[in-house]
Amino acid sequence: MKKMFLMIMTLLVTNFVIKDMAWSNDMSSSWIISAHSKSRLFIGGYDKEKHVIHLGWQVTLEDGWKTYWRTPGDAGLPPRWTWKDNKNIRAISIFWPIPERMHIFDMETYVYKHEVILPIDVAVKESKTSVLVALDLDYMICEEICIPLEASYQLDISDVENIKISPFQKAQLDQYRALVPQRITDDTILVRIDPENSHRLQVTFPDNYDDVEDMIIEGPQGILFGQAKALSQNYFEVPYQGDEMQAGLDVTMTFLLKDGSGHEVTLRIKK
């Protein structure tokens, strides 16, 4: 009993991540457990026509802890992915559910709390050949302090064509796939530099966009965009810090609608 107590206490008071490279079955890696979070990589679906395996990276956090979106904002670090020793894989795409905007100490960050599953699509080269997915991941979790974590996951899928998907894991992944903003193309949304303030963008939506509630803008490295301010139903101003933006540069906008859904679009700054 004393030995078991010491083992439990070690898990609670250290930031050590258990890197167990074994896997419980073909459908999920083992859980990687740290002091304030646990994470895994699991299979939640397979598209036989496109030969695409739908994976989910799942992280569950203790109350009060958070992790970061692909662009964290004024603080924090996004997950950093290293795919190593993969076999029979043509392409990997990561998708990001809509994050929560968080204000603290005059800083603005984009985070996930409690739990998040990031959908990942793995395109298979040859469906009749086994697939190995091996991932090293660095990510950060924060409460009052921030802790960088490292984890390694592995999935060895021997028979892709006859893969059996857990209904529970599929439902988990589908829930978060539905929260990924829809990728669109729309050149009627206009982004310009404010002629009165070169560190502010003007965003104008056409009249049919009458339910935009908020937006997140991403641009060149080193530029941080603040919260958009709605001056009318279809007109927003967005301050930013860093080098001055120029016409011709591209920005990626994730805009949120009043019904909770979102869209993502890449736009070129106009004169």
Do domains 19-180 and 183-268 share one topology? The answer is yes
Superfamily for domain range 19-180: Thiol:disulfide interchange protein DsbD, N-terminal domain (2.60.40.1250)
Give residue 25's pLDDT: 52
Q: What would the two tokens of residue 159 be?
A: 């028979």
Q: What would the two tokens of residue 21 be?
A: 């490279």
Q: What would the two tokens of residue 260 be?
A: 């909770």
Asked whether 189 and 156 are in contact (CB, 8 A), the reply is: no
Give residue 260's pLDDT: 87
Q: What would the two tokens of residue 40 be?
A: 């895994």
CA angle 56, 58, 63 (to 5 degrees): 155
**Domain ranges, ordered by start, for the chain:** 19-180, 183-268
Give residue 121's pLDDT: 98
Q: What is the full per-residue pLDDT of the chain (271 aa) written as tens digits?
A: 333 333 333 333 334 343 333 334 568 999 999 999 999 999 999 999 999 999 999 999 999 999 999 999 998 999 999 998 899 999 999 999 999 999 887 888 999 999 999 999 999 999 999 999 999 999 999 998 999 999 999 999 999 999 989 999 999 999 999 999 999 999 999 999 999 999 999 999 999 998 999 999 999 988 999 999 999 989 999 999 999 999 999 999 999 999 889 999 999 999 8
Asked whether 73 and 106 are in contact (CB, 8 A), the reply is: no
- Three-state secondary-structure class, residue 178: coil
Give residue 112's pLDDT: 98
Q: What would the two tokens of residue 53 be?
A: 């395996």
Average pLDDT, the chain: 89
Number of H helices, E strands in the chain: 2, 22
Asked whether 158 and 124 are in contact (CB, 8 A), the reply is: no
Give residue 9's pLDDT: 35
Q: DSSP class of residue 227?
A: -
Give residue 34's pLDDT: 92
Give residue 271's pLDDT: 80
Q: Report domain 183-268's class.
A: mainly beta
Give residue 152's pLDDT: 96
Q: What is the pLDDT of residues 38-57, one digit of tens each?
A: 999 999 999 999 999 999 99
Give residue 105's pLDDT: 79
Pairing relationship of beta strands 182-183 and 262-268 according to DSSP bridges:
parallel
Give residue 104's pLDDT: 80
* Residues sharing a CB contact under 8 Å with residue 157, sequence separation 6 or more, in sequence order: 26, 43, 53, 130, 131, 132, 133, 163
